[in-house]
Chains A and B, each alone.
Chain A
């Protein structure tokens, strides 16, 4: 007995040192909240966070981008190959798979899905990425498990785009409600909850050969108030929160509730000045906003470290540029952080013809430098950011008026009437590939916020960005594309049409009863590996 005990103890120690893959317990219901009712359950039409959440949990995709490694992993397709410089992709599909209603899956379902995706009558937001080069798609079903998709022009980052394409059944009477993902929509009470149940035909098994997912069901409660979400989490009524507000995070952490900072996200917070020639603002202000010296002076006068520390409670990092360092491949590591240097800012302003007059900054026409920043009301971190900027710019003699508006009013002003001077907003980058930023950086784009829908580029640097973005979109060589995108980042850093402030951290809450969770900075932060999650009782 005496000999056995040390051996037994050694075994226990060794077992505790093994990698943390918890033996999964089957069963149980994972509970989490979504902020609003999903607009649609049609996976090809999902374009807001609630619909995308349901799509992620239910959809079967040909390949899935691993949210930790940021590399594509096989899904319904066991392998794939991009051919003809990005004009063709060949998928080899798994055999013997079935949809949640038992309908068999084959290559003809992929062909049907692609036809639906590209159907102009459906207006699929997911299909927009494939349409960016006005590409027409042809499908060729080689066999029930082999299919070729052919595009008339190269599609950049082609493989990764299939991460969001849910495969539909061409034959199921349940249409788009028949799914290939780990769960299917079993119940929906409008305004209250959505119940997803385990798909009995889900194809994936764990290393021990056990059927995935481990969970019986996922319940999505509709809860618009994130403070109530946090309260429900601290009471143990829900298991996860995907995005915790910085202030709430600190309080929950202080109370000993399980929360995690999963690191820098790809999301950006930025301000920009309205340079639209049709904007109803005085010409002298338009001239300020068009001046790179003015924009860079504002940028240098903003203490980004304080914004990250104070407004985001240290759960953000000062932004360097367009791309967050979290986007490992596409981030231009040669760019340096913008310095906080009010003296240099004043020097730049003097070079541009501005002068200080008893603590008030004036332009060469004698106009006092005063402008307003609009932003979404009720967003505490952003309002605090604006208040910090207001004080920072006061040091260089600028008077800033903060105007919180409801979101509809903000959108109307920045996209319709252009009746604003500066705006503070954030951008959520759901995908890593720069191709999805075409609608921001092309001078003709609607989302080219500082001066949208230009007939021809207003400046030489915007013309250069147009050229680079088009080259980027039409090349399948990632090395070349990276060079183009690096140059775009450099121009954006020098010209600062967007003054990037911080990159937020992914603040998540995962209850200790949830096993195998690996929070990621990318959507969906907490449950991206939902089929691997299990609950201890």
Chain B
């Protein structure tokens, strides 16, 4: 298992390095259109070929990975922080506070968030740059994606509150913020980290879903989601093998996250 974690960590580091160094590694700009080389196969000039608009696939993959790897963890951090706050309060106080909070959580889970995102996207100013637009999309995902995690955190907090050490701590006079800081949060760390790592691929895929509807990252900016979105008609369109590279990168990145997540769970 240790070897697997080392490999996962190395791959993630390489992916991060490639994404951060995209400007130097990419053979062309991600928006540059080679209109005489449409949907071209891999060649010396375009190592992963070109897309339907003649844009270099490798350049788009590098820049797309950068966007997704930077912003998906940011959204996951926001969602996990909200989940920790709301779920933690519900589990800590219990009783009617927990029931009311969980009712709100259930209501939030019942909201068709995809339509909510579409609606919010529709009311944003039109002249946002693609960079601002993608940042807002991921932030929205973060602010909307906390509810499922909050349920898990609430259950974890409730269990902790009923555990023996919690009774002992309270009997010893620990209460309020100090009890939270010293006893609850350290014991919830595993749950929160797990929720964080679960959320990262969820948000990458959520952005891919939005991208498939043309509502994620706006042209010409790429993201892993929008690149994977090209495969949405794979059954009919029979894509070329090199078109699957973004999907492979996405699967590998998520698998690496999962492998590392297991490590944190074991530690917790």
Chain A residues in the interface with B (C-beta under 8 A): 227, 230-231, 234, 247-248, 251-252, 255, 306, 310, 370-372, 374, 377-379, 383-384, 386-388, 390-391, 401-406, 409, 419-421
Q: Please indicate the chain A residues that have their CB under 8 angstroms from the CB of B38 in the complex.
A: 310
B215 interface residue (CB < 8 Å to A): yes
B175 interface residue (CB < 8 Å to A): no
Known contacts A310-B38, A370-B127; A388 and B53 CB within 8 A of each other: yes
The complex places the Cα of A390 from the Cα of B129 at a distance, in Å, of 13
User: In the complex the two chains form, is A401's CB within 8 Å of B54's CB?
Assistant: no
Of the stretches B68-76, B81-89, B235-243, B259-267, the one at the interface is B235-243
Given contacts A310-B35, A419-B126, 12 further A-B contacts (CB under 8 A): A227-B237, A231-B236, A248-B236, A306-B35, A310-B54, A384-B53, A387-B53, A388-B53, A391-B33, A403-B218, A404-B214, A405-B122
B159 interface residue (CB < 8 Å to A): no
User: In the complex the two chains form, is A230's CB within 8 Å of B53's CB?
Assistant: no
B106 interface residue (CB < 8 Å to A): no
B14 interface residue (CB < 8 Å to A): no
Q: Please indicate the chain B residues that have their CB under 8 angstroms from the CB of A310 in the complex.
A: 35, 38, 52-54
The complex places the Cα of A247 from the Cα of B236 at a distance, in Å, of 10
Q: Please indicate the chain B residues that have their CB under 8 angstroms from the CB of A390 in the complex.
A: 219-220
B235 → A minimal CB distance (Å) = 6
User: In the complex the two chains form, is A405's CB within 8 Å of B235's CB?
Assistant: no
User: In the complex the two chains form, is A401's CB within 8 Å of B215's CB?
Assistant: no
User: In the complex the two chains form, is B121's CB within 8 Å of A227's CB?
Assistant: no
Among B128, B215, B218, B236: residue with most chain A CB under 10 A = B236
Chain B 38-81 residues near chain A, CB threshold 8 A: 38, 52-54
User: In the complex the two chains form, is A251's CB within 8 Å of B237's CB?
Assistant: yes
30 residue pairs bridging A and B, Cβ less than 8 Å apart: A230-B236, A248-B233, A248-B236, A251-B238, A310-B38, A371-B127, A374-B126, A377-B214, A378-B213, A379-B214, A383-B219, A384-B52, A384-B53, A387-B219, A387-B220, A390-B219, A391-B220, A401-B129, A401-B218, A402-B218, A403-B126, A403-B218, A404-B214, A404-B215, A405-B122, A405-B215, A406-B122, A406-B215, A409-B118, A419-B126
B130 interface residue (CB < 8 Å to A): yes
Q: How large is the interface on B (under 10, 10 to 19, 20 to 34, 35 or more residues)?
A: 20 to 34
Chain B 219-268 residues near chain A, CB threshold 8 A: 219-220, 232-233, 235-238
A256 → B minimal CB distance (Å) = 13
User: In the complex the two chains form, is B52's CB within 8 Å of A372's CB?
Assistant: no
B128 → A minimal CB distance (Å) = 7
The complex places the Cα of A383 from the Cα of B214 at a distance, in Å, of 8
Q: Give the 3 A-B CB pairs with smallest separation, nearest first.
A: A377-B214, A409-B122, A372-B126
The complex places the Cα of A370 from the Cα of B237 at a distance, in Å, of 36
The complex places the Cα of A216 from the Cα of B146 at a distance, in Å, of 56
Q: Please indicate the chain B residues that have their CB under 8 angstroms from the CB of A230 in the complex.
A: 236
User: In the complex the two chains form, is B31's CB within 8 Å of A377's CB?
Assistant: no
Residue of B with least CB distance to A378: B214
User: In the complex the two chains form, is B52's CB within 8 Å of A401's CB?
Assistant: no
- Return the contact of A251 from the options B118, B213, B214, B236 (Cβ within 8 A): B236
User: In the complex the two chains form, is A401's CB within 8 Å of B127's CB?
Assistant: yes
B238 → A minimal CB distance (Å) = 6
Q: Please indicate the chain B residues that have their CB under 8 angstroms from the CB of A255 in the complex.
A: 238
Among A251, A403, A406: residue with most chain B CB under 10 A = A403
Q: Please indicate the chain B residues that have their CB under 8 angstroms from the CB of A404 in the complex.
A: 214-215, 218
User: In the complex the two chains form, is A388's CB within 8 Å of B33's CB?
Assistant: yes
